Amino acid sequence: MCCLLAVEIKVATPCISSAFMMVLQALWALAAVQKSLVMGRKQAASAIMNTLKKHCTKPYNRKLYDQFPSLCDQLIRLCNHQPPAKAK
């Protein structure tokens, strides 16, 4: 899913740098840990996200970190969506 998301974003906006794509991929991997049922993993992922936010110097990066959990929730919701059967 991560690679597919990266490809879709890269196709949609070719001006995105490869460094930014790596950040998105790392955040997507971190999102899986944040959704873990193991409390220690969840806490570690939250600590990493909080550290990233704290040391973020650019406002658009802070916005990315703030909005990323919501984006992940929506992507998971989209993956689990069952489209209606086609009417004949």
Output the pLDDT for position 12.
Answer: 52
Q: Give the model's pLDDT for residue 79.
A: 86
Top pLDDT among 18 and 48 is at 48
Q: Where are the alpha helices (DSSP H) in 1-88?
A: 2-12, 18-34, 39-54, 59-79
The whole model's pTM is what?
0.61
Whether the predicted pLDDT of 4 surpasses 60: no
CA distance 5 to 11: 10
26-83: pLDDT as tens digits: 888 888 888 889 999 999 988 988 888 888 877 777 888 888 888 888 888 888 888 8
Map out the domains of the chain as residue ranges. Answer: 2-79
